Structure formats: structure tokens, C-alpha cells
Amino acid sequence: MQGVGPERTGVLDGGRYPDRMTPLPEGWTDFGVAAAGATAALAGLLIVAISVNVSQIIASKSAVHGARATIASLVLAIGVSLLMLPSSQTLLGLGVATLVLGIAASAIQVSAIRAQWTAREAGLTTGPRVAILALAAAQHVPFLAGGVLLLFGIESAPWWLVFGVVMVVVASLVDAWVLLIEVRR
């Protein structure tokens, strides 16, 4: 990002900020705006997919858990993105909020993964199930890592949040496809 460097952000040598109460570096609000808009649009698509196929989704325990976990993941991505918007947002504040949202979304995700792993519904073999559940489990890791790194004032911490948003978008697109198309098969 242009304009982000030691002279602009107060970064010390070694990639750490001198104070965790340092505001988020300039330029990250632009990412927050774009990410919040994109994830909110995807959340809208997901809600439409759920409402169109509500009877098929309710009939499948794993689809219900998957829908709930996907909504929680999108709320995590939207929440973290919106929290990047205030110009006075501090590294510490963003780190704490990211961890709170990340832990809550991860608890819902773990519950869904457990339910989906034990579900023996027709049409899903072990290989694809493992791949889907691995993506589901991995998408929250960057948020949790980024939250911890923000608490310690590590310069690369916001990039972990970017990676988390990208992973949530990819996983949510897959889940939206499943909830819109695959539940009808």
C-alpha cells in the first residue's frame, strides 16, 4: 500500500509498531470498504439461496449446520471489515474485536464440522467431504492469527485479515452453490 512505511505508521525496525494503541495504518480503510461490500453482497446471495431452498435445507441436518456456519463466517468477515473503517481504530481494538468475532464464528464452525462429518447423507464420499470440511476449518485461522498478531503490534497482522476475508469469500461461494444447487439433487 502506498504511503505505508516507517515514516507514516510509526513502525519500528523488526516489523512491530511502537504502541498497540497506534491507529491502523493509512489505506486499510479502503480494504475495509471493499471487503465489507463484497462480503455483504455474498451474504445476501446466501440468504436468497437459503430462502429459495428452505425445505430441502431443513430436510438435511448437514445443510442446516452448513448454512449456519457459512452465515457465521460471513458475519466474521463483514464485522472485521467494518471494524477497519474508523480512522481512530487502534491495533489493540481491532485485535480484540477480531478475536472475539473469530472465536464466536469458530465455535459455530466447529459444531457444524462435527455434525457434517458424522452425517451419512447420500452423494458425498469421504474425499470431497474431507476437502470441504478442511476449507471450512481453515477459513477462520487467518482471523485468529491476525487478531493475535494485532495484539502484539506485528506489522503484517492486517494481511492475515485480508487472507481470512479471501478464504471466507471462497468458502462461502462454494457453500452458496451447495445451498442453491446441490441440495436439489
Copy the grid coordinates of residue 168: 471466507
What does the alpha-carbon distance between residue 40 and residue 30 come to, in Å, rounded to a whole number?
A: 15
* DSSP bridge partners of 12: 16
88-128 pLDDT, tens digit each: 899 999 999 999 999 999 999 999 888 877 766 655 667 77
Closest CA to 74 of 109, 52, 107, 42: 42
With a cut of 50, say whether residue 3 has pLDDT above it: no
Q: Which stretches of 26-102 are assigned E, i.e. beta strand?
A: none
Which residue is associated with the grid cell 463466517? Answer: 73
pLDDT at 120: 63
Grade residue 135 by pLDDT with cuts at 50, 70 and 90: confident
With a cut of 80, say whether residue 17 has pLDDT above it: no
pLDDT at 124: 60
With a cut of 90, say whether residue 42 has pLDDT above it: yes
Grade residue 4 by pLDDT with cuts at 50, 70 and 90: very low
Closest CA to 64 of 108, 123, 100: 108
60-86 pLDDT, tens digit each: 888 899 899 999 999 999 999 999 999
Distances (CA, A) of 84 to 18, 31, 67, 173: 20, 8, 26, 23
pLDDT at 113: 84
